Structure 1
Amino acid sequence: MNPKPKKQKYPIELLVNNQRYDREVEATELLLDVLRHKIGLTGAKPGCLNGDCGACTVMVDKRPIKSCLMLAIEAKEKVITTIEGLHHKPIQEAFVTHFAFQCGYCTPGFIMNCQALLEDDPNPSDDKIKSWLSSNICRCTGYAEIEKAIKSVIHPD
């Protein structure tokens, strides 16, 4: 019986939360897995692993990306921001203030998606907010609180 062949590893440098990480990855390794298991950033959550739920959302070059759909080698020379890289952003406080979470599993993905929206458009329309929120799924709570959180950042009282 032939032994299983070793998978080839490739050295890459990732820029995550303004810090450089040199890692070896397999060609088929997902960004989500590298972030969680090789860098130790566990904020992006594995959910559906097919891009539907958004629990694994991170920002890559300021765009929301589902890290379960991106290979780690595709992230080379890109700027990656995870929930751990957001430091006291208004959207984080707004999620707490407006109770925009329940169990919390999907919350990092929603916050990353909302932060990307606000960076893309500091004053998005209601339709644009709904459209962006449709890329993430929460099974515990309604989306009204999340919309309130975003709107409180756009139009602080």
Structure 2
Amino acid sequence: MPTEPVPQEPVAIPDEPHSRIAPTRRTFIASGTAVGTAVVAGTVLGTDLLSESDAAAAPSAPTSRLTVTVNGTRHTVTVDNRTSLLDLLREHLDLTGAKKGCDAGACGACTVLVDGHRQNACLTLAVRLEGAEVTTVEGLADGDHLHPLQQAFIDEDAFQCGYCTPGQIVSGVGCIKEDHTDSPEEIREWMSGNLCRCGCYVKIVRAVEQAAGRK
């Protein structure tokens, strides 16, 4: 025999303005989407509306006046303090022989001579070279007469794509000046900072040996 349900007293829900009711999944997603859209729209609109005023209020990047001698020519320029020697050469002085490869000092394509010593131009701040003498691959030849190492690279066919070649030649000149050419193994060791993605290392070593007078 079925039992009759026991009547329950209704539970009064307090009418509080700040009472919280757990949202459903649908209302949570809808509200989250609305908030996200509003934030993105506000960001975009805020950027568009404030870009001019922000640009006017933003402090200008610090600059310095620099005098440096490159390939025998004296240059006085004003550059952003963050400008690398590589960007100074390529963007300001239109000397594009030094290549921007890794831009992290790992490939050697940007090698130049600073006061006679090999240096990665991409890792060198231009403002640190006040009064320095810089030699790039453009400054090695004497007019139409190639530097002995440039000629040796041609004789030994020591390149393929040629992208690393300027850095290889400048580094090889430094290697010869530093007297690190007693053996092919020593040349490889002291030229190891210059990468050739085409794999012309054997011919590069032969070219350095030729220019150093070992062949």
TM-score by length of 1: 0.94
Deviates more, 1:127-136 or 1:42-51: 127-136
Work out whether 1:85 is the aligned partner of 2:143.
no
Which fold has the larger relative contact order, with Cα–Cα distance below 8 Å and residues 6 or more apart in sequence? 1
> Quick check: 1:46 aligned with 2:104?
no
Q: Equivalences for 1:68-107 in 2 at 5 Å? A: 68-87=122-141, 88-107=146-165
In 1: Cα distance, 2:96 partner to 2:129 partner: 17
Deviations 1:103-147 (A, max 9, x none): 000000000000011112175333321112110101013300001
Secondary structure of the residue aligned to 2:211 is helix
- Residue equivalent to 2:207: 149
Corresponding residue pairs, total: 157
The amino acid that maps onto 1:38 is H
Matched, 1:138 2:192: no
Give the equivalent residue in structure 2 for 1:63. Answer: 117
Check the 8 A contact 1:118/1:124 in 2, yes or no: no
Q: CA deviation at 1:154?
A: 2.3
Match of 1:120 in 2: 178
- Name 1:26's counterpart in structure 2: 80
Q: 1:36 aligns with which of 90, 93, 98?
A: 90
TM-align CA RMSD: 1.4
Partners of 1:9 and 1:152 in 2: CA distance = 44
Q: Which amino acid counterpart does residue 95 of structure 2 have in structure 1?
A: L
Deviation at 1:89, TM superposition (A): 1.1
- Name the aligned partner's letter for residue 6 of structure 1: S
Q: Which runs of 5+ in 2 are unaligned?
A: 1-49
The structure number with the bigger radius of gyration is 2
Question: Secondary structure at the residue paired with 2:122?
Answer: coil
The answer to whether structure 1 residue 17 and structure 2 residue 75 are counterparts is no
Whether the aligned pair in 2 keeps the contact of 1:122 and 1:154 (CA below 8 Å) is no
Higher strand share: 1
Any idea what SS the aligned residue of 1:130 has? helix
